[in-house]
Amino acid sequence: MEQRNIEQRYAIKCCVKLGDSVKETYGKLVKVFGDEALSRAQVFRWHKDFKNGRESVGDEPRSGRPVDPRTDNNVQRVRILVHQDRRLTIRMLADEKLPKKC
């Protein structure tokens, strides 16, 4: 996550604690950060979250595919498959031998 986003989230959190409206908060961010300010929608969402009691400025964990599919388990599976049949191509491994979701 970008440092600039973290700074702005802390600023939004501070504005919420001071009782600033979401419009006032957005105006202050634009004044301070200029073109690098979070979008209006992002400011409104974070303002609402902090107003509803959120404390963390970090992103929530997300489900889904891993960012890097090169897990130890997947590397080992590919090694075993290649040792069993050295004629396998990358395409064959991707299409047939490995599950679509890692």
Residue 77: exposed, middle, or buried by beta-carbon count in 10 A (0-12, 13-18, 19+)?
A: middle
Spell out the domain ranges in the chain. Answer: 3-51, 69-102
Residue 16 has pLDDT above 90, yes or no: yes
| 17-26 pLDDT, tens digit each | 999 999 999 9
Q: How far is CA 7 from CA 10, 36, 96, in A?
A: 5, 11, 46
- CATH for 3-51 (3.30.1560, 1.20.120, 1.10.10, 3.40.1280): 1.10.10
pLDDT average, residue stretch 89-96:
80
